[in-house]
Structure 1
């Protein structure tokens, strides 16, 4: 049996990749960003791709063009743009009728037309309580009016085997029975600051049957050393996988690509050279410390902790904890992809900043895979 998805607001293909790893076939992807869709097309050349504004796509025309009857599609997935909800936007700039808040309604229009057996919609955690829960309630009630059983929750990627503390909201809907939220598979201290430690009481809360969280070292410890501004051109792997995560992420990959370190400015070089593993702007000497900075800015990653959220700004050390734990540079595109759980077979196209955006704006593939597997279990 063939299990199929359509990916709306597809970006570079984080959701598609996770579902693909679980055995799904991608029939169609819609994305307005031509640079992101170039990456998608490179990795999924057989998928029908619409590089256009989704507001200009007629759901009925698309369903007919794909030859799908209602309830034939297995899953409709997507992450409508979320700037209007994001806490990264000042509260004074957030308002209910912001056009950036309305694209979830377009997503729902596609659900109504295609009537897939399952629906997966991803967004920032704030969508569940934005405007006193109005958005969450509207999405839930609309899906229920279409005949779906709906559940929603916030999932932290670190608890599902991804070396990153990214939290996102998911709406899961089914025409059959209400889906359970996937249970965590990993546990441990996910706080990225080296100053933070768990108390013995907190440690005792852990369950013995769960795997330990995946760390930065687990994810990128096998990748070759680079200097800032350098690209790894040999492509071969210098060593065998050192752990299960590396074995999974390297599956069927024969070479290292996108291992590119961005060149640093003189002040950025001076700052990273002054920091030890896990340290950040708070640890810089006065003459190097920025006057203002974000939490974790100019921070080195800690080897034995997961990374913080990979954002589209991961190329800029002043935007977060994006310095390598030991080497005097920011993380490479491949390292960021590893921390986001993209397999090494996935190639990114574009400039360094293009590729950083493609990673930071996507769903971690292994988190999408967990959701896809839960759908398969329910389907059977």
Structure 2
């Protein structure tokens, strides 16, 4: 498909659209997206920041509705992807726009953080990957992007997904998100596909430089373990037992439990196999990137999730900001009780906003190359 093949939107479509579907100055089509498995909107928010209109997000989890709709001018569709058809999604793309189908299918079968019940869930989650591919075949969008764990590329289901992309130019690679300005170590498989051509179809990592923990969360007001800041209910940290308070006081940024006195060490650390767990009960370092933000990131004993300076685990707000959500991103309604396990799951499972933004900039640049 070239610029000559593209059908210019009618005058009525141009007049009714807000913002315009077609830029008079650039003379090229805009991109509209639907975000499958949208969660709280990390990928959606990044796509919007990168210049792509998102019409809707799809997720089966009702807890995602408020954060998704409160922060993004898009419709939340609470439905199983396998119960949707391409026709169901078509209405959420602006007429005349290039269509982008985006998403990150749940990745529990491949996650090193989710070992219990893995065999039972594997078939269910693989079906979601294939459901994504089936929607591509039905909808036939000009553009597709998928984000997932690196391990997915080693499984047959990924080859099956690629089979749904017949007729597309495809690029995929494992990306270290810290290289694009996400302040944590997070390796993700990113796929880009286009019917328009291959020019520029490669994630634009640019020259972002690494963003540190200090640059990301140091300006938030201090709080104590178990305290909630009055001005931001999400800036709250979990309580610490007396033993864990002694442990975090004995911990240094970047250190391990080996720095503690023997009586503070957990039973598993006293065994020879304890050497396999150097990062639990650790503090982050101010001038380094954070570890991977997981669904258990609010717990001091679940990884290197201790605050670099304050004697507590990082707050939920700090975890969200390390996932590159804006500091004012809304996750709960006013007065709603904070549930650490639920919000930790929503934040840890999110696509980093910055990654979504870089994907958007890559795709808009790709379209610019094609249409001139």
The answer to whether the superposition gives a TM-score over 0.5 is: yes
Aligned partner of residue 30 in structure 1, secondary structure: strand
Q: How does the TM-score come out when normalised to structure 1?
A: 0.80
1:179-194 correspondence runs (5 A):
179-185=200-206
Q: State the match for 2:135 in structure 1.
A: 110
Residue 156, structure 1, aligned to residue 176, structure 2: yes
Q: How does the TM-score come out when normalised to structure 2?
A: 0.81
Partner of residue 232 from structure 1, selected from 225, 229, 233: 229
Asked if the contact 2:201–2:366 (Cα under 8 Å) also holds between the matched residues in 1, the reply is: no
Q: State the match for 1:288 in structure 2.
A: 264
Asked if the contact 1:72–1:116 (Cα under 8 Å) also holds between the matched residues in 2, the reply is: no
Q: State the match for 1:246 in structure 2.
A: none
Moved over 6 A (4+): none
How many equivalent pairs are there? 327
Asked if the contact 2:296–2:302 (Cα under 8 Å) also holds between the matched residues in 1, the reply is: yes
Asked if the contact 2:81–2:132 (Cα under 8 Å) also holds between the matched residues in 1, the reply is: no
Distance in 1 (CA, whole Å) between partners of 2:53 and 2:93 is 15
Residue 173, structure 1, aligned to residue 193, structure 2: yes
Distance in 1 (CA, whole Å) between partners of 2:201 and 2:88 is 33
**Using a 3 Å threshold, how does the CA distance of structure 1 residues 39 and 4 change in structure 2: closer, same or farther?**
same
**Using a 3 Å threshold, how does the CA distance of structure 1 residues 303 and 5 change in structure 2: closer, same or farther?**
same
Aligned partner of residue 145 in structure 2, secondary structure: strand
Asked if the contact 2:205–2:358 (Cα under 8 Å) also holds between the matched residues in 1, the reply is: no
Q: State the match for 2:288 in structure 1.
A: 305
Distance in 2 (CA, whole Å) between partners of 1:182 and 1:66 is 26
Asked if the contact 2:185–2:290 (Cα under 8 Å) also holds between the matched residues in 1, the reply is: yes
1:311-322 correspondence runs (5 A):
311-322=294-305
**Using a 3 Å threshold, how does the CA distance of structure 1 residues 345 and 182 change in structure 2: closer, same or farther?**
same
**Using a 3 Å threshold, how does the CA distance of structure 1 residues 295 and 76 change in structure 2: closer, same or farther?**
farther
After superposition, what is the alpha-carbon deviation per residue over 1:27-70, rounded to whole angstroms, capped at 9, x for unaligned?
Answer: 111111111222112222x422211222222332342x44777x
Q: State the match for 1:373 in structure 2.
A: 361
Structure 1 unaligned residues grouped into runs of 5+: 186-209, 236-255
Asked if the contact 2:109–2:122 (Cα under 8 Å) also holds between the matched residues in 1, the reply is: no
Q: State the match for 1:59 in structure 2.
A: 86
**Using a 3 Å threshold, how does the CA distance of structure 1 residues 306 and 66 change in structure 2: closer, same or farther?**
closer
Distance in 1 (CA, whole Å) between partners of 2:94 and 2:204 is 33
Larger Rg: 2
Structure 2 unaligned residues grouped into runs of 5+: 1-20, 22-29, 269-273, 333-337
